[in-house]
Copies of this chain bind each other. A is one copy, B any other.
Amino acid sequence: MRVAAPHWLPLTTWARMICPAEEGENNDKFFTHPKNAKALAAYLFAHNHLFYLMELSAALLLLLLSLCEAPAVPALRLGIYVHATLELFALVVVVFELCMKLRWLGLHTFIRHRRTMVKTSVLVVQFVEAIVVLVRQTSHMRVTRALRCIFLVDCRYCGGVRRNLRQMFQSLPPFMDILMLLLFFMIIFAILGFYLFSPNPSDPYFSTLENSIISLFVLLTTANFPDVMMPSYSQNPWSCIFFIVYLSIELYFIMNLLLAVVFDTFNDVEKRKFKSLLLHKRTAIQHAYRLLVSQRRSAGISYRQFEGLMRFYKPRMSAGERYLTFKALNQSNTPLLSLKDFHDIYEVAALKWKAKRNREHWFDELPRTAFLIFKGINILVKSKAFQYFMYLVVAVNGVWMLVETFMLKGGNFVSKHVPWSHLVFLTIYAVELFLKVAGLGPIKYLSSGWNLFDVCVTTFAFLGLLALAFNTEPFYFIVVLRPLQLLRLFKLKKRYRNVLDTMFELLPRMASLGLTLLIFYYSFAIVGMEFFCGILYPNCCNTSTVADAYRWLNHTVGNRTVVEEGYYYLNNFDNILNSFVTLFELTVVNNWYIIMEGVTSQTSHWSRLYFMTFYIVTMVVMTIIVAFILEAFVFRMNYSRKNQDSEVDSGITLEKELSKDELVAVLKLYREAEGANSDIAQLLKILSQMERYEQNTLVFLGRRSRTKSDLSLKMYQEEIKEWYEEHARKQEKQQRQLSSCTVPATQQSPGGRQRSQTIT
C-alpha cells in the first residue's frame, strides 16, 4: 500500500516537509508534524533561522530587561514607561510565536505538549504583571520575573540547555535519595552535637538545635571549619573526634557517593540518549528510502532522486559535492543506492569536499631559485631542531618574565621606555612567524589552531609594544596579556595536546552547561533582588556574629587615618550584576555563611532557606558538570587506549576519485533536467580545472571533524549491532501488525507516527 504525495502540495515542499533525513537530525518527534496545508505553512514559517533569531532576541530582551528595571544597574536605569513598553513588545512577539506554534501543532497536540503549556502560563502571568506595572507606574514585588528564563530555554538554539535540564531532572531521583541520607546524618549529628556541646557557654555554634543544624550544614561545605570546632576543642581535645567523624562520613564519603550516583546516572542517560537518537535516525533513513524508492518503484535510489533529496536536505551543497556524496555512499558501484548504502547518509553528507592538491607545497610552481629557497625554509621550519629551539626561546622568555616581574617591587612598574628584552623576544617570534608562513604557505599555516594562536599572541604582543612605546593608557591591558605566550609550551607534550583537543571538542557542551548554570543564577538573582535588595551596607550587621566582615570604620590612630574595611557589604543583591557576583561567591562556598548570616541578621531566619536551597541547586549543577567533565575525559582516554595505533587527533577523511567521463555524464543530466545555472557552472569549473592540468581524474578529499557521536559509535560498536537487530525485529513486528489490520483502520489512526509507518 502506497501513500501518494498529497495532491495539494508541490513535490518540493512535500519533500521538505516530510524529508525524514532532516527530522532524524533534528530529532523532532514524528507526531508533531504538520497535518494539513495551513499547518504546513505555519510549520515552514516557524522553522527557519530568521524566526529562530526572532525567538532568541525576544527572550534575550526579556532577560536583559532586568538590568534596567528597578533595582537597576545605575548606568542602565530606564524609566518605567520605557522598560514596561519594551517588555510588552517582547511579550507580544512571544505571543505571536505561540500562535504560530498553535497553528502548526493543532490545539490537541499544543495542549498535550507540556513545555509549551508552561510557557503559555508564564506568558500570561508576565503579561498581566507588565500591564499592572504600566498602570500603577511603579514596579511591585515581581518574583515571577525569575520565570522569564523559560522563554530562553524554549528557543530553538538552546536545545543543549534543554537537554541538560532533562538530564538533570533524570538524575534527580537517585540524587535526592543520597541527599536524604546526607541530611539525615546531618540531623543525627546535630542532635548529638547539641547534647554534647550546648553545656559549653562559650560555644555559640551548638547553643540551640537550630544553630546546631545550621552549623553542621555550613560545616558540610567546610566553610566554618575549624572555627566551629575550636570552642569545644579548647575545652576538651577529644571533641575533635566528633568533627572528624562527621566530616569523614558526610564530606568524604556521602558527598563522593553523590558524585558517583550522578556520574553513573549521567552516563546511563547519555548512553540511552545516544541509542534513541541513533535508532531515530535509522528509522528516518528507512522512511526516506522507502519514500524515494516507492515513488518510482525501482530497486534503489537513482542519482536523480538522490540529487532532489539533497537539494532540500542540504541546500547549500554544490552539484559536485552532491555527486561526490552519492559516489561515497554507493559502495556497490551499481547506478542505484541500496538501503544499506543509504544508512550512512548522515555521516557522509557532513563531509566537506575539496580537490586534493597534486602539488605538495604552495611554492612548487615558482622559478627554480625561489623554489629552492622556500624548500629550504620549509625543511627548516619542519625540523625538530627548529621546533625545540622555539620552545627553548619561549621557556627562556617565561623565566625572564618571571624574574623581571619578581624584581619589580610594585609601584610604577609600567616603565616609560621599552625594555630591550621585549624587543629581542618579539623579533624572534616575528621571524618565526614569517619563516613558517613562507615555508608552509599561508593557508596551510593558518589551518592549524595552534599556529592561529601563535599569530594572535604575537600580534597582541606587538600591539602591547606599540602601547608601551606610545604610552597609550587605554591599551595598557594588552601589555598584561604577555604571559599568555607561555601557553605555547603546551604543544610540547602529547598529553597536553590531547587535553586541549578534548577541551575544544567539549566546548559546545561545556558552553551549554555554563548557560544552564547562568539560567539558574538568573532565577536566583531575581529572587534575591526582590527580597534582599538594599539591605547590606557598611556597618549593617553590627548585631550579628559576622559583624567584623561588614564593618567599615574610618578612625584616626596617632596622626594617620586607618580605614578598617570589612568589604562584605559589597556582596549584595542591589542589582543583577552584583547578584551574579554574589551568587558566584556562594557557588565557591568558601565563607558563604558570612553572606548568609549578614542577610539573616537584616531580615529573618527564613532567609537561610534561600541560601541553603541555592547551595543544594548549585551542588546538583556542579556535580553534573564535574560528572560531565569526568565522563568525557574518561571516555576519551578509554577511546585512545582502544585505538592506540590510529591517530586520534585528525578528523574523519574520505577520498574519492572523479573521472572526466563521470563529470560529463552528470553535466549532461543537469542540462537535460534544466537544473540551476549555478550547478552547471560549478561542474564546468571542475571540468576546466581538469583540462588545465591535463588530468583524466581528480581526487577529492572529504573531511569533517570528529564529534562525540563518532567516538560513541566506535566505543559501543558491539552494543550498537545488538540495538539495530532488536530495532529491526521490532519494526518487522509492527509491520506485520499493520498489514494484518484493515486499510481504513490504519488511515483513521490519529498519530503522525503511525501514518508515516504505512508508507511502503
Provide the main secondary structure of the chain A interface: helix
A392 close to B (CB within 8 Å)? no
The interface residues of chain B lying within 8 Å CB-to-CB of A571 are 226
Complex CA–CA separation, A240 to B633 (angstroms): 29
The interface residues of chain B lying within 8 Å CB-to-CB of A406 are 209-210
Taking a contact as CB atoms under 8 Å apart, the answer to whether B567 and A626 are in contact is no
Taking a contact as CB atoms under 8 Å apart, the answer to whether B637 and A264 are in contact is yes
Say whether, besides A196-B480, A495-B174, A577 and B226 are in contact (CB < 8 Å).
no
A222 close to B (CB within 8 Å)? yes
The interface residues of chain B lying within 8 Å CB-to-CB of A589 are 222
Taking a contact as CB atoms under 8 Å apart, the answer to whether B499 and A181 are in contact is yes
Among residues of B, the one whose C-beta sits closest to the C-beta of A586 is: B226
Taking a contact as CB atoms under 8 Å apart, the answer to whether A588 and B633 are in contact is no
A122 close to B (CB within 8 Å)? no
Nearest chain B CB to A42 CB, angstrom units: 42
Say whether, besides A225-B591, A493-B177, A409 and B208 are in contact (CB < 8 Å).
yes
- Give the segment of A249-257, A318-326, A375-383, A750-758 that binds chain B: A249-257
- Give the segment of A13-21, A76-84, A228-236 that binds chain B: A228-236
Taking a contact as CB atoms under 8 Å apart, the answer to whether B480 and A585 are in contact is no
Instruction: Indicate which residue in B222, B230, B577, B626 contacts A590 across the interface (CB closer than 8 Å).
Output: B222
The interface residues of chain B lying within 8 Å CB-to-CB of A132 are none
Docked complex: A187-210 residues within 8 A CB-CB of B: 187-188, 191-192, 194-196, 198-199, 202, 207-210
Taking a contact as CB atoms under 8 Å apart, the answer to whether B234 and A413 are in contact is no
Docked complex: A437-495 residues within 8 A CB-CB of B: 479-481, 483-484, 486-487, 489-490, 493, 495
Instruction: Indicate which residue in B187, B230, B410, B483 contacts A188 across the interface (CB closer than 8 Å).
Output: B483
Q: Mark A568-587, 1 if CB is under 8 A from B, else 0.
A: 10110000011001001100
Nearest chain B CB to A504 CB, angstrom units: 13
Instruction: Indicate which residue in B233, B268, B405, B487 contacts A194 across the interface (CB closer than 8 Å).
Output: B405
Taking a contact as CB atoms under 8 Å apart, the answer to whether A633 and B195 are in contact is no
A638 close to B (CB within 8 Å)? yes
Nearest chain B CB to A520 CB, angstrom units: 15
A388 close to B (CB within 8 Å)? no
Nearest chain B CB to A404 CB, angstrom units: 9
A244 close to B (CB within 8 Å)? yes
Complex CA–CA separation, A496 to B261 (angstroms): 12
Instruction: Indicate which residue in B208, B252, B479 contacts A195 across the interface (CB closer than 8 Å).
Output: B479
Interface centre among A195, A210, A230, A244 (most CB of B within 10 A): A195
Interface centre among A202, A577, A584 (most CB of B within 10 A): A584
A247 close to B (CB within 8 Å)? yes
Complex CA–CA separation, A664 to B339 (angstroms): 71
The interface residues of chain B lying within 8 Å CB-to-CB of A487 are 188
Complex CA–CA separation, A210 to B234 (angstroms): 34
Complex CA–CA separation, A199 to B629 (angstroms): 37
The interface residues of chain B lying within 8 Å CB-to-CB of A188 are 483-484, 486-487
Taking a contact as CB atoms under 8 Å apart, the answer to whether B410 and A207 are in contact is yes
The interface residues of chain B lying within 8 Å CB-to-CB of A567 are 227, 230-231, 233-234
The interface residues of chain B lying within 8 Å CB-to-CB of A267 are 634
Nearest chain B CB to A421 CB, angstrom units: 15
Q: Mark A618-657, 1 if CB is under 8 A from B, else 0.
A: 0000100110011001100110010000000000000000
A152 close to B (CB within 8 Å)? no
Say whether, besides A402-B187, A496-B181, A222 and B588 are in contact (CB < 8 Å).
yes
The interface residues of chain B lying within 8 Å CB-to-CB of A630 are 256, 259-260, 263
The interface residues of chain B lying within 8 Å CB-to-CB of A483 are 187-188, 191-192
Report the interface size class on chain A. Answer: 35 or more
A307 close to B (CB within 8 Å)? no
The interface residues of chain B lying within 8 Å CB-to-CB of A570 are 230, 233-234
Nearest chain B CB to A200 CB, angstrom units: 10
Among residues of B, the one whose C-beta sits closest to the C-beta of A626 is: B256
Complex CA–CA separation, A571 to B227 (angstroms): 11
Taking a contact as CB atoms under 8 Å apart, the answer to whether B191 and A629 are in contact is no
The interface residues of chain B lying within 8 Å CB-to-CB of A480 are 192, 195-196
A367 close to B (CB within 8 Å)? no
A98 close to B (CB within 8 Å)? no
Complex CA–CA separation, A626 to B174 (angstroms): 19
The interface residues of chain B lying within 8 Å CB-to-CB of A408 are 194, 209
Say whether, besides A260-B634, A401-B191, A591 and B184 are in contact (CB < 8 Å).
no
A10 close to B (CB within 8 Å)? no
A341 close to B (CB within 8 Å)? no
A565 close to B (CB within 8 Å)? yes
A6 close to B (CB within 8 Å)? no
A134 close to B (CB within 8 Å)? no
A744 close to B (CB within 8 Å)? no
Q: Mark A501-515, 1 if CB is under 8 A from B, else 0.
A: 001000000000000
A223 close to B (CB within 8 Å)? yes
Complex CA–CA separation, A669 to B382 (angstroms): 81
Taking a contact as CB atoms under 8 Å apart, the answer to whether A410 and B198 are in contact is yes
A237 close to B (CB within 8 Å)? yes
Complex CA–CA separation, A622 to B401 (angstroms): 34
The interface residues of chain B lying within 8 Å CB-to-CB of A256 are 625-626, 629-630
The interface residues of chain B lying within 8 Å CB-to-CB of A264 are 633-634, 637-638
Docked complex: A579-619 residues within 8 A CB-CB of B: 581, 584-585, 588-591
Complex CA–CA separation, A253 to B514 (angstroms): 12
Nearest chain B CB to A594 CB, angstrom units: 9
Nearest chain B CB to A134 CB, angstrom units: 32
The interface residues of chain B lying within 8 Å CB-to-CB of A261 are 633, 637
The interface residues of chain B lying within 8 Å CB-to-CB of A584 are 240, 244
The interface residues of chain B lying within 8 Å CB-to-CB of A565 are 202, 230-231, 234
The interface residues of chain B lying within 8 Å CB-to-CB of A240 are 581, 584
Taking a contact as CB atoms under 8 Å apart, the answer to whether B259 and A626 are in contact is yes
Taking a contact as CB atoms under 8 Å apart, the answer to whether B590 and A629 are in contact is no
Among residues of B, the one whose C-beta sits closest to the C-beta of A73 is: B237
Taking a contact as CB atoms under 8 Å apart, the answer to whether B177 and A495 are in contact is yes
Q: Mark A359-384, 1 if CB is under 8 A from B, else 0.
A: 00000000000000000000000000
The interface residues of chain B lying within 8 Å CB-to-CB of A202 are 563, 565
Which 9 pairs across A and B sit closest by C-beta, in order of nearness? A230-B567, A260-B633, A222-B590, A188-B483, A256-B629, A195-B480, A198-B410, A226-B585, A191-B483
Other A-B pairs, 8, CB within 8 Å; known A187-B483, A223-B590, A230-B570: A177-B496, A187-B402, A188-B486, A191-B483, A240-B581, A252-B626, A256-B629, A259-B626
Can you give 18 A-B contacts (C-beta < 8 A)?
A187-B483, A192-B483, A195-B405, A195-B413, A198-B413, A199-B410, A202-B563, A207-B410, A209-B408, A226-B571, A233-B570, A240-B581, A247-B588, A256-B625, A257-B499, A259-B630, A263-B634, A590-B590
